[in-house]
């Protein structure tokens, strides 16, 4: 098996699989004589549900160039969330790291995830003269087991990282306008990409909420019931 990592944005990886069958036993069955053969397929990592390639007998007596197979995509049963630290570039934004849940025999590393907004959201900090949009789910996309570049594959079902919060300038603006203390939340729907590229096909496997609070001297970010608090500035 030879895996090739995907890349941002929405470029799925592939895994080349070569199966070589030799010395069939029994040597014949129902009048058919078994022969050594080789099957070579490419598996699309984004869905882990479609493979295509060739099948042949090693002696050249059979060759099929359009071999393909498909199955229902494996999906997580959910995910857990862990706060890991405040972002160095914007210290009022917190990074959360997720671990996909499911069978330990079927890791999801190399698969692709994306988020989408739910219908339930609220932003008490925002008003029409605000210099930015309401607190929201932005539509991020991740490769499971890969952290930016170079492509680190942890084989741990991590997907990293979800950045939750608002910029320092916006925190200062809300305070200056007398909006603090105020809270915001947005429903986040999590999807795993399946058949096809560019996440054209996807299935929801989890839902949660991202949250944010601006206090007079503090900020709080949250994801899926996990929270991070800090005094700022």
| Predicted local distance difference test score (pLDDT) of residue 230 | 98
| Predicted local distance difference test score (pLDDT) of residue 9 | 64
> Is residue 139 domain-shared with residue 31, that is, in the same domain?
no
Tokens of 131: 């210099």
> Is residue 85 domain-shared with residue 51, that is, in the same domain?
no
Tokens of 49: 């549900």
* Phi, psi torsion values for 13, nearest 5 degrees: -80, 175
| Report field, pTM of the whole predicted structure over 0.85 | no
> Is residue 108 domain-shared with residue 31, that is, in the same domain?
no
User: How many alpha carbons fall within 13 Å on the CB side of residue 37?
Assistant: 14
| Predicted local distance difference test score (pLDDT) of residue 156 | 80
Bond into 63 cis (ω within 30): no
Q: What percent of the chain has pLDDT over 70?
A: 91
**Mean per-residue pLDDT of the chain:** 89
Q: What percent of the chain has pLDDT over 90?
A: 60
Residue identified by tokens 């007998």 is: 57
| Predicted local distance difference test score (pLDDT) of residue 144 | 85
Confidence of residue 155 (pLDDT cuts 50, 70, 90): low
Task: Give the end of a domain, one of 17, 47, 70.
Answer: 70
Nearest to residue 141, comparing CAs of 182, 200, 225, 227?
A: 200
> Is residue 219 domain-shared with residue 120, that is, in the same domain?
yes
> Is residue 83 domain-shared with residue 66, that is, in the same domain?
no
> Is residue 107 domain-shared with residue 153, that is, in the same domain?
yes
> Is residue 151 domain-shared with residue 199, that is, in the same domain?
yes
| Predicted local distance difference test score (pLDDT) of residue 153 | 58
CA distances from 227 to 205, 211, 213, 215, 220 (A): 22, 9, 10, 15, 7
| Predicted local distance difference test score (pLDDT) of residue 105 | 76
DSSP 8-state class, residue 134: P
> Is residue 118 domain-shared with residue 38, that is, in the same domain?
no
Q: Which helix (H) or strand (E) holds 132?
A: none
> Is residue 45 domain-shared with residue 61, that is, in the same domain?
yes
> Is residue 62 domain-shared with residue 107, that is, in the same domain?
no
Task: Give the end of a domain, one of 40, 70, 100.
Answer: 70
> Is residue 132 domain-shared with residue 63, that is, in the same domain?
no
Task: Give the end of a domain, one of 35, 51, 70.
Answer: 70
Beta-carbon contacts of residue 58 (< 8 Å; ≥ 6 apart) = 35, 36, 37, 38
pLDDT digits (tens, 9 = 90+) for 97-143: 999 999 877 788 878 899 999 999 999 999 989 999 999 999 998 88
pLDDT digits (tens, 9 = 90+) for 11-36: 767 888 899 999 888 888 888 888 99
Characterize 170-200 residue by residue with b for buried, 16 or more Cβ atoms within 10 angstroms of its Cβ, and e for exposed: bbebbbeeebbebbbbbbbbbbbbbbeeebe
Cβ distance 192 to 199 under 8 Å? Answer: no
Q: Alpha-carbon distance 121 to 139, whole Å? A: 15
> Is residue 18 domain-shared with residue 90, that is, in the same domain?
no
pLDDT digits (tens, 9 = 90+) for 56-93: 999 999 999 988 888 888 899 999 999 999 999 999 99
Q: Which range in 46-55, 166-175, 195-204 is most confidently predicted, on average pLDDT?
A: 166-175
| Residue range of the domain that includes 62 | 2-70
- Total domains, the chain: 2
Nearest to residue 165, comparing CAs of 93, 217, 82?
A: 93
Higher pLDDT, 185 or 155: 185
| Predicted local distance difference test score (pLDDT) of residue 150 | 56
């Amino acid at each position: 098996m030879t895996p090739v990592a995907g890349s941002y944005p929405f470029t799925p990886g592939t895994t080349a699989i070569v199966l070589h069958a030799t010395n069939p036993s029994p040597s014949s069955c129902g009048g058919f004589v078994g022969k050594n053969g080789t099957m070579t397929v490419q598996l699309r990592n984004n869905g882990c549900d479609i493979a295509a390639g060739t099948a042949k007998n090693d002696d050249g007596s059979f060759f099929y160039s359009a071999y393909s197979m498909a199955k229902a995509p494996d999906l997580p049963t959910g995910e857990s969330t862990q706060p890991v630290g405040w972002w160095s570039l914007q210290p009022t934004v917190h990074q959360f790291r997720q671990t996909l849940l499911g069978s330990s025999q079927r890791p999801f590393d190399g698969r692709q995830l994306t988020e989408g907004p739910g219908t339930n959201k609220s932003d008490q900090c925002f008003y029409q003269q605000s210099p930015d949009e309401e607190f929201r789910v932005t539509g991020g996309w991740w490769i499971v087991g890969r952290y930016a570049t170079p492509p680190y594959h942890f084989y741990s079902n991590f997907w990293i990282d979800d950045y939750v919060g608002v910029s320092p300038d916006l925190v200062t603006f809300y305070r200056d306008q007398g909006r603090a203390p105020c809270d915001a939340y947005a429903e986040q729907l999590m999807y795993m990409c399946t058949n096809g590229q560019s996440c054209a096909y996807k299935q929801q496997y989890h839902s949660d909420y991202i949250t944010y609070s601006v206090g007079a001297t503090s900020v709080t970010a949250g994801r899926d019931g996990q929270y991070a608090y800090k005094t700022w500035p």
